[in-house]
């Protein structure tokens, strides 16, 4: 396992009988181009090795090597997640990995492989892809806990902060599905191309069946989290609606309490001459004053009842 290689040592990568893993951290494009020319890479492979934000893919060139764009994940802080993009050029005698930023999982893997000494070529390639795949599981575990906490927070006291967290989590799930889905499809259809490379034996397929199983589990978890997030959004809308109904009920009670007071003060506050001249007895007061208000109320009640406004009340 190497982190750097001199110009005169590039030939070691294609030397028969020795499998070499060269791991490069954000190397200059000139260095990658020099290695690619020495190993006979296609110009598109040289270009893809140092161009980032690519879709997860596997492309075979000729009969002896292929290019893989693969992703892992890394937690940042409490709830932050960074997708780690790694490019690989794989042959039966070497694997060259190029990282945009340091990936702790690959560093740990490199140390483990160095302690074990000589390992089979197919196991080394599988271990690199498996380490990147398994890096998603701690992220998903934390995401699962966060969704439970978010649902509890929304039921207890929904607010703008919880709503922003819902949309932030939704974007995170979309970003992870964007890389996991093509990696899962790639494992299902094209990773068997690795087993056909000279130098990798038929047992390689057994390793990559396990890798495919891990990718399926991650994709299924992301799908379930997406559905759970939709349910959490429904809970948020329902909770906010219920809280609004409670507020409206409280305001209606207050308005109902003050309505009779407004009626009494409004009726006796009228100062028309006809009103003061003709309402000279208690009977006239009941007929013209009280009756003039009760009759419209009764008429409205009958009209609303015929229209069915009280059926759902």
Distance CA 10, CA 308 (A): 87
Q: Which two tokens stand for residue 270?
A: 């009228």
Answer with the residue of higher pLDDT: 271 or 97.
Answer: 97
**Is the pLDDT reported for residue 286 higher than 80?**
no
* pLDDT single digits (tens) 23-56: 898 888 998 998 898 888 999 999 999 899 999 9
Q: Which two tokens stand for residue 160?
A: 């703008």
pLDDT of residue 261: 54
| Element of type H or E holding 311 | none
Q: Which two tokens stand for residue 277?
A: 């001249």
pLDDT of residue 170: 92
Distance CA 91, CA 104 (A): 24
**Is the pLDDT reported for residue 297 higher than 80?**
no
Of 7-16, 218-227, 288-297, the one with minimum mean pLDDT is 7-16
pLDDT band at 207 (very low <50, low <70, confident <90, very high): confident
Give a three-class secondary structure readout of 210-252: HHHHHHHHHHHHHHHHHHHHHHHHHHHHHHHHHHHHHHHHHHH
For residues 173, 176, 181 and 187, what is the CA-based torsion angle, rounded to 10 degrees? -140
DSSP 62-85: TTTEEEEEEEEEEEETTTEEEEEE
Token look-up 């599905």 returns: 177
Gap between the terminal Cα atoms of the chain? 76
* pLDDT single digits (tens) 120-138: 777 888 889 999 999 999 9
E-only strand ranges, 147-201: none
pLDDT band at 141 (very low <50, low <70, confident <90, very high): very high
- Which residues lie below 8 Å from residue 49, measured CB to CB, with a gap of 6+? 32, 36, 67, 87, 89, 96, 98
Do the Cβ atoms of 225 and 173 come closer than 8 Å? Answer: yes
Which residues face 66 on adjacent strands? 60, 90
pLDDT of residue 294: 74
Do the Cβ atoms of 68 and 90 come closer than 8 Å? Answer: yes
* pLDDT single digits (tens) 178-192: 999 999 988 887 666
Answer with the residue of higher pLDDT: 18 or 135.
Answer: 135
pTM equals 0.75
pLDDT band at 60 (very low <50, low <70, confident <90, very high): confident
E-only strand ranges, 54-172: 57-61, 65-76, 80-91, 94-99
**Is the pLDDT reported for residue 75 higher than 90?**
no
E-only strand ranges, 157-226: none
Distance CA 283, CA 286 (A): 5
Answer with the residue of higher pLDDT: 295 or 6.
Answer: 295
Q: Which two tokens stand for residue 138?
A: 């701690």
pLDDT band at 92 (very low <50, low <70, confident <90, very high): confident
Q: Calculate mean pLDDT across residues 234-247.
A: 84
DSSP state of 190: T
**Phi and psi dihedrals of 43, rounded to 5?**
-55, -30
Domains of the chain (ranges, CATH numbers): 7-241 (3.30.460.20), 270-307 (no CATH)
**Is the pLDDT reported for residue 3 higher than 80?**
no
pLDDT of residue 140: 93
Is 133 in a helix, a strand, or coil?
helix
Distance CA 173, CA 193 (A): 29
| Element of type H or E holding 209 | helix 204-268
């Amino acid at each position: 396992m190497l982190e750097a290689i001199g110009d005169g040592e590039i030939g070691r990568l294609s030397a028969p009988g020795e499998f070499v893993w060269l791991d490069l951290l954000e190397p200059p494009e000139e260095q990658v181009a020099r290695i690619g020319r020495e190993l006979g890479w296609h110009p598109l492979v040289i270009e893809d090795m140092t161009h980032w934000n690519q879709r997860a893919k596997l492309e075979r060139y000729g009969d002896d090597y292929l290019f893989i764009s693969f992703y892992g994940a890394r937690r940042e802080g409490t709830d932050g997640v960074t997708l780690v993009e790694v490019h690989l050029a794989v042959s039966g005698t070497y694997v060259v990995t190029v990282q945009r930023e340091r990936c702790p999982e690959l560093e740990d893997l490199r140390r483990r492989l160095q302690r074990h000494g000589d390992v089979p070529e197919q196991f080394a390639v599988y271990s690199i892809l498996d380490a990147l795949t398994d890096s998603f599981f701690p992220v998903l575990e934390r995401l699962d806990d966060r969704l439970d906490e978010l649902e509890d927070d929304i039921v207890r006291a929904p607010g703008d902060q919880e709503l922003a967290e819902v949309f932030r989590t939704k974007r995170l799930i979309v970003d992870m599905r964007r890389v996991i889905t093509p990696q899962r499809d790639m494992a299902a259809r094209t990773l068997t191309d690795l087993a056909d490379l000279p130098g990798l034996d038929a047992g390689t397929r057994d390793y990559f069946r396990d890798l495919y199983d891990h990718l399926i589990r991650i994709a299924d978890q992301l799908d379930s989290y997406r559905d759970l997030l939709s349910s959490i959004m429904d809970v948020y809308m329902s909770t906010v609606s219920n809280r609004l109904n409670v507020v409206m009920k409280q305001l209606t009670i207050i308005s109902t309490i003050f309505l009779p007071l407004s009626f009494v003060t409004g009726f006796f506050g009228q100062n028309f001459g006809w009103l003061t001249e003709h309402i000279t007895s208690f009977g006239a007061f009941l007929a013209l004053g009280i009756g003039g208000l009760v009759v419209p109320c009764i008429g409205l009640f009958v009209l609303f009842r015929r229209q069915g406004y009280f059926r759902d009340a």
